[in-house]
Amino acid sequence: MASATASHTLCGIPTTSSSSTTNKSTTYSSARFLLKTPLRRLGFAGTVADPLFTNHVATKLRSVKASSNPVRAVVSMAKKSVGDLSSSDLKGKKVFVRADLNVPLDDSQNITDDTRIRAAIPTIKHLIANGAKVILSSHLGRPKGVTPKYSLAPLVPRLSELLGIQVVKADDCIGPEVDKLVDSLPEGGVLLLENVRFYKEEEKNEPEFAKKLASLADLYVNDAFGTAHRAHASTEGVTKFLKPSVAGFLLQKELDYLVGAVSTPKRPFAAIVGGSKVSSKIGVIESLLEKCDILLLGGGMIFTFYKAQGLSVGSSLVEEDKLELATSLLEKAKAKGVSLLLPSDVVIADKFAPDANSKIVPASAIPDGWMGLDIGPDSIKTFNDALDTTKTVIWNGPMGVFEFDKFATGTEAIAKKLADLSGKGVTTIIGGGDSVAAVEKVGVASVMSHISTGGGASLELLEGKVLPGVIALDEADAPVAVMAVKKSVGSLKEADLKGKRVFVRVDLNVPLDDNFKITDDTRIRAAVPTIKYLMQNGARVILASHLGRPKGVTPKYSLKPLVPRLSELLGIEVKMANDSVGPEVENLVAGLPEGGVVLLENVRFYKEEEKNDPEFAKKLASLADLYVNDAFGTAHRAHASTEGVAKVLKPAVAGFLMQKELDYLVGAVSNPQKPFAAIVGGSKVSSKIGVIESLLEKVDVLLLGGGMIFTFYKAQGYAVGSSLVEEDKLDLATSLMEKAKTKGVSLLLPTDVVIADKFAADANSKIVPASEIPDGWMGLDIGPDAIKSFGSALDTTKTIIWNGPMGVFEFDKFAAGTEAIAKKLAELSGKGVTTIIGGGDSVAAVEKVGLAEKMSHISTGGGASLELLEGKQLPGVLALDDA
């Protein structure tokens, strides 16, 4: 037994590689569906399960990188969304919506599972609410010509009930009668076309048929992810005739999770793959081995892996022609540093039946005449322990024959564990009918981060294929497409890092008191995860940063005072260089052991740093073998250590902090969960013009506070007393309010304010309506009515970005508005709303209230965050390698 497994990673069976990879995963923790007939055996035997839904994410961008046309593939996943279209874009427009209403019907034509109908509702309701005329299209089944039992007519009552309006049903999908129904459709009305597959031209993607469908509408929305892998007339052909062509909310969410969450996952990242046959999951497993840290295998496929290692498997399901493949996958996992875990014990049965006799045995001791039908209790515990170390988990395929209660324990245990992890902030993605069936059966579907609706589309996406229905849609704005997906340090494994010199640009620009003591170590702590990851993988780490704005060598801006705290946080003695280039530095680097760290002196002691001098960049780069940028706060600067070095060193990748900033700031702005609100405060309109204008293109609700509001009030003719006003920005304020109205954005200004007789902490104060500020008084905070109305508006949202305080919160008397917003966002975070805090003042506010840890993300960037929110491209990000 030992000899049979000595060179592979078998959970519970000690091996060299298994122990090393398990240790690696341990160190990380320290530093909707359709249940088919029983013939469709979700686990070990029977037909293949629905295509792997969630595991593709990991595969997606890796395969894109290797493709012959990588740019197209990356951009194809960053698509314009229906949420990008404002009320003015939609009101009165005829919108062709391709949905996936392919639901199961019983013999009496009653819907037995309305999941897909319900999944389509958010997009349709958004269009209705914005005054569009909705033309709904779908297929049902696989009809050969007009087949009454495949008519969409039975879906109308449920659609009407869910939408709260009477949906009109057409008897065809093209032709004069359909044209008439479309012409008579009111704003906010919905017309359901008949099954598009009643025409053979649909699946042939016949251009003339596509043109006829397109002639019904003004623009196109594809919300049918389940058919996105098909180049059909209604999924791909129509887009050639209708512009804009955008993704619906469901399609967008699928891409967000399957591409976004897995292309740049929060690490450690685990994948769980089950199912009956290795052959059906080859592409998925191979792709995941390029991305994940831990791969857990279950289901009938495990016995092919066991037999490949010389173990007895009794009469368990084995693919004899895939034994070499199983061996090669184990070897690939070892080479990639992936902890591939197989069950150490299994539940075996004397026949394939729900009433079979059963017992638990070690995976290496399955007797003749018995077959494995589930994973055992020791395996469940080991799998759970591994999953406890993770931040992202994707699951496709059951652990056993879970249709039989006696052999459902493993699958149900995984479902419960993922539910538990979801409640702790782990991203959990469930894909494939069988996995979805499991979470539905256990009653935990609602707590998972994402449950995919796709079938073949998911599998193809996970295998790295491009989807015609996605590629055909309009691209998202350039900054999103270019910056959203960068290669991460997490994609580099031990083999890529061990013994390598890694130049890491961090942001250690922390405040020091007069005695050179650190007064806030937030930025140092934020840099630790990336450094520890590199150390644990045997890299030799060279840290570079700036501190302050020195003019040449300035001792008070030396990084030496940071060494003790860095050493304490990293658990090793950090070496300090007296320079950032030169022979002495080169000697220090040469003597650096694996896992060692050297901190270079302030790179801004050289004027060449901020000038991005190529020769200086080349000197910095000569110290290392590869580059990691984890300094988001300086990513908007094209300096030698942030942009120049990346041109010389390859790979050049993002650190974990940089990656997280991009995940939240790019992700939230490009593809937010709607409704999306922004809160913008601060003293002057002029400092936030770009941010406000950019956000008006994206948000549903915009709340304004701080000193800038009085410029808006005066622009409307209100008396503002002696409040701060930018007289030269009155026309701008007016134009921004008009733009909000045109874009259908709810722009809310405070209805009441707290005013003071002087700008001081001990000023006399009172609350007045915003339109009644007396002479000699100035507004210094928003009032209680405004706090209440702002809170009510925020209660309707799913994503919130906050930049800038509501008042002069440094004075306790005028801090109530800012603190109330902080508390409201903390409350909403606990309810699943994504809350992103940006800007020093906003961060200071949540820190003051003690709620920082409850927010989804607190940005470390200042100018970088603002420029990103303004839609600008960041040189330090663009210079990094694409994923």
Q: Name the residue with higher pLDDT: 800 or 77.
A: 800
For the cut 60, the answer to whether the pLDDT of residue 142 exceeds it is yes
pLDDT classification of 477: cutoffs 50, 70, 90: low
Confirm if 240 and 470 have CB atoms less than 8 A apart: no
Residue-level pLDDT at 446: 79
pLDDT classification of 676: cutoffs 50, 70, 90: very high
CA neighbor of 123 nearest in space, from 84, 78, 76: 84
Q: Which helix (H) or strand (E) holds 427?
A: strand 427-431
Determine the 3-state secondary structure of 700 from DSSP. coil
Residue-level pLDDT at 860: 79
**What's the pLDDT tens digit per position in 831-859?**
888 899 986 678 888 888 888 888 888 88
CA neighbor of 806 nearest in space, from 797, 795, 815, 798: 815
Residue-level pLDDT at 47: 24
Residue-level pLDDT at 800: 93
For the cut 60, the answer to whether the pLDDT of residue 482 exceeds it is no
pLDDT classification of 437: cutoffs 50, 70, 90: confident
Asked if residue 509 belongs to a known ligand binding site, the reply is yes
First to last CA, the chain: 41
Residue-level pLDDT at 245: 96
User: For residue 190, what are its two tokens?
Assistant: 């919905």
Residue-level pLDDT at 455: 67
Laid out side by side, the sheet with 834-838 consists of 746-748, 701-704, 676-680, 799-803, 834-838, 857-858
What is the rounded distance in angstroms from the CA atom of residue 755 to the CA atom of residue 64? 57
User: For residue 810, what are its two tokens?
Assistant: 């440094």
What is the rounded distance in angstroms from the CA atom of residue 662 to the CA atom of residue 654? 10
Asked if residue 546 belongs to a known ligand binding site, the reply is yes
Residue-level pLDDT at 321: 93
Asked if residue 842 belongs to a known ligand binding site, the reply is yes
CA neighbor of 781 nearest in space, from 755, 807, 812: 807
- Which DSSP category does 185 fall into? P
Q: Which helix (H) or strand (E) holds 534?
A: helix 522-536
Determine the 3-state secondary structure of 375 from DSSP. strand
Confirm if 179 and 140 have CB atoms less than 8 A apart: no
Among 248-262, 336-350, 585-599, the least confident range: 248-262
Q: For residues 594-608, give the mean pLDDT.
A: 97
Asked if residue 839 belongs to a known ligand binding site, the reply is yes
Residue-level pLDDT at 668: 67
Residue-level pLDDT at 38: 25
Residue-level pLDDT at 261: 60
CA neighbor of 41 nearest in space, from 272, 280, 275: 275
User: For residue 693, what are its two tokens?
Assistant: 């204008």
What is the rounded distance in angstroms from the CA atom of residue 502 to the CA atom of residue 626? 5
Q: For residues 780-794, give the mean pLDDT.
A: 97
State the pairing for strand pair 371-375/676-680: unpaired
Query: b/e string for 130-159 if b means 16 or more Cβ within 10 A?
Result: bbbbbbbbbbbeebeeeeeebbbebbeebb
Residue-level pLDDT at 59: 30
For the cut 90, the answer to whether the pLDDT of residue 201 exceeds it is yes
What is the rounded distance in angstroms from the CA atom of residue 50 to the CA atom of residue 47? 9
State the pairing for strand pair 501-505/540-544: parallel
What is the rounded distance in angstroms from the CA atom of residue 138 to the CA atom of residue 234? 8
pLDDT classification of 873: cutoffs 50, 70, 90: confident
Asked if residue 158 belongs to a known ligand binding site, the reply is no
Other C-beta atoms closer than 10 Å to the C-beta of 586 total 14
- Which DSSP category does 10 fall into? B
Domains of the chain: 2-30+39-64+256-465 (3.40.50.1260), 82-247 (3.40.50.1260), 483-661 (3.40.50.1260), 672-850 (3.40.50.1260)
For the cut 60, the answer to whether the pLDDT of residue 283 exceeds it is yes
For the cut 80, the answer to whether the pLDDT of residue 683 exceeds it is yes
Share in percent of the chain as helix, strand, coil (round to 5): 45, 15, 40
| Four-point Cα dihedral 60, 63, 64, 70, nearest 10 | 180
Q: Identity (one letter) of the amino acid at 628? A: V
What is the rounded distance in angstroms from the CA atom of residue 484 to the CA atom of residue 481? 6
Active site amino acids:
523, 684, 840, 863
CA neighbor of 874 nearest in space, from 691, 633, 695, 680: 633
What is the rounded distance in angstroms from the CA atom of residue 150 to the CA atom of residue 105? 9
| Cβ neighbours for 389, distance < 8 A, ≥ 6 positions apart | 25, 26, 28, 29, 268, 294
What is the rounded distance in angstroms from the CA atom of residue 359 to the CA atom of residue 580? 65
Asked if residue 841 belongs to a known ligand binding site, the reply is yes
What is the rounded distance in angstroms from the CA atom of residue 880 to the CA atom of residue 622? 18
Q: Name the residue with higher pLDDT: 548 or 742.
A: 548
Asked if residue 688 belongs to a known ligand binding site, the reply is yes
Asked if residue 548 belongs to a known ligand binding site, the reply is yes
The DSSP result for 702-740, as a single string, is EEE-STTHHHHHHHTT---TT----GGGHHHHHHHHHHH
Percent of the chain whose pLDDT exceeds 70: 88
Other C-beta atoms closer than 10 Å to the C-beta of 388 total 15
Q: For residues 263-277, give the mean pLDDT.
A: 85
Tell me how many degrees the CA angle 318-321-324 measures, rounded to the nearest 5: 100
CA neighbor of 652 nearest in space, from 669, 635, 670, 633: 635
Asked if residue 507 belongs to a known ligand binding site, the reply is yes
Burial environment of residue 446 by CB neighbours within 10 A (0 to 12, 13 to 18, 19 or more) = exposed
Asked if residue 817 belongs to a known ligand binding site, the reply is no
For the cut 90, the answer to whether the pLDDT of residue 223 exceeds it is yes
Largest CA distance in the chain: 95
For the cut 90, the answer to whether the pLDDT of residue 677 exceeds it is yes
CA neighbor of 474 nearest in space, from 246, 669, 667: 246
Determine the 3-state secondary structure of 820 from DSSP. helix
Other C-beta atoms closer than 10 Å to the C-beta of 647 total 16
What is the rounded distance in angstroms from the CA atom of residue 73 to the CA atom of residue 377? 42
Query: b/e string for 400-429 if b means 16 or more Cβ within 10 A?
Result: bbbbbebbbbbbbbbbbbbbbbbeeebbbb
What is the rounded distance in angstroms from the CA atom of residue 863 to the CA atom of residue 861? 6
| Cβ neighbours for 46, distance < 8 A, ≥ 6 positions apart | 39, 40, 276
Asked if residue 637 belongs to a known ligand binding site, the reply is yes
User: For residue 157, what are its two tokens?
Assistant: 């009552």
Residue-level pLDDT at 22: 33
User: For residue 763, what are its two tokens?
Assistant: 């000023």
Asked if residue 126 belongs to a known ligand binding site, the reply is no
pLDDT classification of 815: cutoffs 50, 70, 90: very high
439: Cα separation from own chain's centroid: 21
Q: For residues 435-439, give the mean pLDDT.
A: 83
Orientation of helix 522-536 relative to helix 563-570, angle to 10°: 50
Highest mean pLDDT among 111-115, 116-120, 518-522: 116-120
Asked if residue 523 belongs to a known ligand binding site, the reply is yes
User: For residue 740, what are its two tokens?
Assistant: 């909000």
Determine the 3-state secondary structure of 504 from DSSP. strand
User: For residue 745, what are its two tokens?
Assistant: 């954005």
**What's the pLDDT tens digit per position in 693-728?**
888 888 999 999 999 999 999 999 999 999 999 999
The three state secondary structure string of 251-274 is HHHHHHHHHHHHHCCCCCEEEEEC
pLDDT classification of 463: cutoffs 50, 70, 90: low
Asked if residue 558 belongs to a known ligand binding site, the reply is no
Residue-level pLDDT at 459: 66
For the cut 80, the answer to whether the pLDDT of residue 768 exceeds it is yes
Orientation of helix 16-30 relative to helix 323-336, angle to 10°: 50
Residue-level pLDDT at 861: 79
Asked if residue 234 belongs to a known ligand binding site, the reply is no
Asked if residue 549 belongs to a known ligand binding site, the reply is yes
State the pairing for strand pair 752-756/778-782: antiparallel
Tell me how many degrees the CA angle 684-811-525 measures, rounded to the nearest 5: 80
What is the rounded distance in angstroms from the CA atom of residue 316 to the CA atom of residue 380? 20
**What's the pLDDT tens digit per position in 3-61?**
333 223 333 332 223 333 333 333 323 222 222 222 222 223 222 222 222 222 223 32
Q: Which helix (H) or strand (E) holds 97?
A: strand 94-98
Rg, C-alpha atoms of the chain: 29
For the cut 50, the answer to whether the pLDDT of residue 868 exceeds it is yes
